[in-house]
A and B are shown apart, each in its own frame.
Chain A
């Protein structure tokens, strides 16, 4: 793994009035890394991720994404990242090909790139017979895989995944993680939130967020050692049980 830093935050904080959603977050994420961003519901994950994507302005602290500043260079950041949200985020009334063309188009791909990329994508997912089908008619597992492929269509430096495997069966989840590894091998940094602790084991490094603070940051092996836990489940429980905030 190269040690080029692609995400760097220093005391990044977001306040909503009195409420501090994300408190002085300082992390570094390396190129090509699969970085697990863990925490209970309401711990401040989504807020932190939105700041990193340029969707939300920080209250204080600093952050650079792919070398660009979150306060002043959001335009540049947006060109260099991909994003997949909790909610399924393709258009269900557009077919597979139209969705690919749409998202490729708004990321500035030209016709030749679009054609080449969409063919490769459809081939890779084995969707040859479904490319003219409306996305709404596809099974959830395929939709999620398609959404991920679309999110990295423009070969971003970093892709942010917000609970990408919610509600998906174990086999599809496994396939989904194979895709994440592929992306990582191509040098794309994967920043992923999840509630599945077995998925946390697949990450190169993970951070654990409790009540707006990053309480732990290390490789899964080191974390288990440090907390004397057998699995990530135990680590999570150990850290999260001190949480005061209720889920939102």
Chain B
């Protein structure tokens, strides 16, 4: 009788360890033999990074503008050249008549017009003073503001070049420095967001679906009848996804440092540690979902709806939390990805250490622990 193994012959601990390894190996087979799982697991982070990196960006590049050049002299030509040289603008047309401005805007292709007055060069030379008019299409106020800033910077630069002596003369120069992100790159904002999103989505989805699949196929019954500890069923299911998520995280980091030129200023160990906690939280959430559903489709739907919306809305990488009404701001506190997002930004971009993010780490760990305890307690070890 083989059950004798359990009673005397072998060390029970040894048997349990072997059971566990057997189970984890089986989970890896499932993952690597299902092209859909693989695609989701590794395709999603790449797609997200590329999507957010190149398509969905709030940086403004190559905006078409019109210059209305009444001066048409050397000074105005130099200014126009300078504007054209910047990566933000592309001069679509140089016109001589302000009546053409409105029709240019109406075409929708032009977002801004710069009007250079007559006698631009001579005014500059003789009076040290002239005016330039900037007209922006403010139907999208944020874009208009940014364009205005970019243009003002270029003109300021130009002024410093042509009359360096004017610097500091009878005027207050504002010096603006953008700390941590001098080039105002959107990537600094969205990469930590995408990290949170991908880790949460993938982990929650994978665990819930893989447990529900065993229920659907009827193999869960067999597992529960076997001497394998039901709690270990959960743990063994979580192990592969935990490690694969860390691989996933590395892919995201690699892509964002090479493609997006993101820095990793802080400790990479701390970054992985925080991610590990988020992954645990996600695994626990997936487990909870698997307890309340019996079909893979339902598990998938709940995971997607339950994770995607709150993460997108309440993490802070799409919509600033400070601008939300108070009740919503309060809700963001229970979204794990918000805390993770703060940690990642602090560590990756500002290069801060554990001393600055311990509070967020503690909150995230608390959430992970709470969810794990609840989900393990709720896991049905019997069939009714």
Contact = CB atoms under 8 A, between A and B. Distances in A.
Given A94-B29, A154-B3, A155-B1, A108 B227 contact: yes
Q: Interface residue tally of chain A, by bracket? A: 35 or more
A227 to B, nearest CB: 34
B33 to A, nearest CB: 5
A108 B6 contact: yes
Contact of B384 (A56, A87, A92): A56
Contact of B226 (A90, A92, A98, A107): A107
A87 B34 contact: no
A15 to B, nearest CB: 11
B221 A110 contact: no
Given A55-B382, A85-B221, A113-B2, 13 more contacts: A79-B6, A83-B222, A85-B218, A91-B26, A94-B26, A106-B19, A106-B228, A109-B2, A109-B5, A110-B5, A110-B10, A110-B15, A155-B2
B154 interface: no
A69 to B, nearest CB: 16
Interface string B1-26: 11101100010000100110111011
Given A102-B26, A108-B15, A110-B18, A79 B225 contact: no
A128 interface: no
Nearest to A108: B15
A106 B1 contact: no
A216 B18 CA distance: 45
Nearest to A57: B382
Contact of A106 (B2, B22, B34): B22
Interface of A: 16, 50, 53-57, 75, 78-81, 83-94, 98, 101-103, 105-110, 113, 154-156, 160
Contacts of B21: 105
Contacts of B383: 50, 55-56
Contacts of A110: 5, 10, 15, 18
A16 B221 CA distance: 20
Given A50-B383, A102-B26, A106-B23, A87 B227 contact: no
A57 B383 CA distance: 9
18 contacts: A88-B218, A92-B217, A93-B34, A102-B26, A103-B222, A105-B18, A105-B19, A105-B21, A105-B22, A106-B19, A106-B22, A107-B227, A108-B3, A108-B18, A108-B19, A109-B5, A110-B15, A155-B3
B223 interface: yes
